[in-house]
Amino acid sequence: MRQILLYLFIILILASCTQVIDISTNAPMPQLVVESSIALNEYAKVMLTKSITLSESNNFKKVTNAVVKMTDNSGNTEMLTEISNGIYVSKTMKGEVGKTYSLRIESEGKTVTALSKIPPIIPIDSFTVINSIFPGGGPPRGNQPAPFYEVNIKYTDPADQQNFYRIITYYNGEIQSRNNIFDDRFNNGKQTEANLIIFKDSAKMGDTIRIEMLCIDKPVFNYFQSMGSAGGPRGSSSPANPYTNLNGAILGYFSAHTVERREWVLK
């Protein structure tokens, strides 16, 4: 009994000494976030937003009334049109293989510039999707659940150049993964496979899986490679900002690339 009373006495003393300490953190100033691209045979698109802190919801403020200009190395120039808040597109300029594109953005007294070149297109040799019980587990047997979809892409890497790839996956039009990147350090000149996994336990007949295979230049590859070690949601303040090919901004990228699309309908 004496020991129990002693323990209660110690607990009461510790509880009375508890103090709430309010730690003040300095939130960083919002930064301009640039997501911009021009694809082979497609119009340029630039999306401008402001960064958020880690404690904020993913409600990105759109940057409107910016001056956005695209120029190619043949001397063609176009001022992009803002079609909705923070989204700017070209109406005449489309991407061409081998051309280098220059992006210039003027917003709130700041100027951002970037360069990117569209590399040669490397076509997809084959595209298949396999429904499996788990990755590598094979098709379903009986009523066994099979919520995994194994996406297999084959392409032949050219031996006479250094190549960089990015693959984006979609399920019913919604992006599932945007950071699948590859280079040819270990498969130069060889037929290569890219295997990606989509998990969907609510899949049904008629649903679609779509992929986009992009041939990108090295600075864009470096950007998405660095994104693998940068924390936080898109546009948030992260412990380490990713590499960028932008001058005048630290968040975002400008990608001139080829694009090839394939789609698979679930049966």
Question: Quick count: other Cβ atoms within 10 Å of Cβ 139?
Answer: 10
C-alpha distances in Å from residue 135, one per residue of 58, 130, 149, 193, 221:
31, 10, 8, 16, 27
This prediction's pTM: 0.83
Three-state SS for 4? helix
Residue 60 to residue 204: CA distance in whole angstroms: 33
Predicted local confidence at residue 233, as pLDDT = 45
What is residue 108's predicted lDDT score, i.e. its pLDDT? 92
Q: 11: helix, coil or strand?
A: helix
- How many CB atoms neighbour CB 82 within 10 A? 18
CB 50 within 8 A of CB 4: no
Structure tokens at 192: 């290569």
User: How high is the pLDDT of residue 59?
Assistant: 72
**pLDDT of the residue at 239:** 46
Tens digit of pLDDT per residue, the chain (267 long)? Answer: 555 445 545 555 544 544 554 544 555 688 999 999 999 999 999 999 998 765 555 678 999 999 999 999 999 999 999 999 999 999 999 999 999 999 999 999 999 999 999 999 999 999 999 999 999 888 888 888 999 999 999 999 999 999 999 999 999 999 999 889 999 999 999 999 999 999 999 999 999 999 999 999 999 999 999 987 544 444 444 445 779 999 999 999 999 999 999 999 998
Give the three-state DSSP class for 213.
Answer: strand
